[in-house]
Structure 1
Amino acid sequence: MNILFFTVSAGEGHNQVARTVADKIKQTDPNHKVEVIDTFNYVHPSLHKIVFEAYIKSIKYIPTLYGFIYKRSEVTDNSIVDVSEFLNKVVLSRKFTRLLADFRPDIIVCTHPFPAEALSAMKRKAKIDIPLVTILTDYTIHPSWINKEIDYYIMPSENFIHEFQYWQIPSERAKFFGIPIDEKFSRSYTRQEVCEKLNVSNTFTALIMGGGLGLGNITETLDYLFTYNIDIQIIAIAGKNQELYRYLSLINRKNLKVFGYVSNIDEFMSISDLIITKPGGITVTEALTKELPIIVTWNLPGQEERNMEFILNNGIGMVATSPNSLISCINLLKDNPDRYQIIRNNMARIRKPHATEDIANFILSMPSTNPSSNERSAFEVR
Structure 2
Amino acid sequence: MEALILSCSTGGGHNTAAQAVFEALTERGHHAVRMDPYTLVSEELANKVGQTYIKLVQKSPKLFGAVYDLGNAYRKLPGRSPVYHINGKMAPYMQKYLAEHLTDVIVCTHLYPAEILTHMRLNGMETPPFVFIATDYTCVPFTEESDCDLYVTPSPLLSSDFTGRGIPAEKLRPLGIPV
Report if TM-score (shorter chain) is over 0.5: yes
Counterpart Cα distance in 2 of 1:99 and 1:123: 15
Unaligned runs of 5+ in 2: none
User: Does 2:91 correspond to 1:92?
Assistant: yes
User: Are 2:84 and 1:58 equivalent residues in the alignment?
Assistant: no
Partner of 1:13: 13
Which of these residues, 125, 128, 136, is aligned with residue 126 of structure 2? 128
Cα shift at 1:18? 0.7
Distance 2:67 2:174 in 1: 28
Query: How many angstroms does 1:151 deviate by?
Result: 0.9
**Hey, what's the Cα distance between the residues in 2 that align with 1:113 and 1:152?**
13
Q: How does 1:206-221 map to 2 (within 5 A)?
A: none
Whether the 8 Å contact between 2:91 and 2:119 is mirrored in structure 1 is: no
Equivalent runs, 1:191-230 vs 2, <5 Å: none
Measured after TM superposition, the shift of residue 96 of structure 1 is 2.7
Say if 2:127 is the partner of 1:119: no
Deviations 1:252-275 (A, max 9, x none): xxxxxxxxxxxxxxxxxxxxxxxx
Specify the code of the residue in structure 1 equivalent to 2:133.
I
Task: Give TM-score, length-normalised by structure 1.
Answer: 0.44
Which residue does 1:83 correspond to in 2?
Answer: 83
Q: Determine if contact 1:135/1:179 at 8 Å carries over to the other structure.
A: yes
* Higher alpha-carbon Rg: 1
Q: 1:99 to 1:58 in 2, by over 3 A?
A: same
- The question of 1:172 aligning with 2:156 is answered no
Aligned match for 1:156, one of 146, 154, 176: 154
- State the Cα RMSD in Å: 1.8
Q: Aligned residue pairs: how many? A: 176
Identity %: 31
From 125, 136, 141, the equivalent of 1:138 is 136
Aligned to 2:142, the other structure's residue is in SS state helix
Q: Give the CA deviation at 1:163.
A: 1.4
Residue deviations 1:62-119 (CA, integer Å, cap 9, x gap): 111111111221232259x822222222x123x4322111112111110000111011
Gaps of 5+ in 1: 182-382
Runs of 4 or more consecutive aligned structure 1 residues displaced over 6 Å after TM superposition? none
Is contact 1:43–1:96 with CA below 8 Å preserved after alignment? no
- Give the TM-score normalised by structure 2: 0.90
Query: Relative contact order (C-alpha < 8 Å, sep 6+): which is higher?
Result: 2
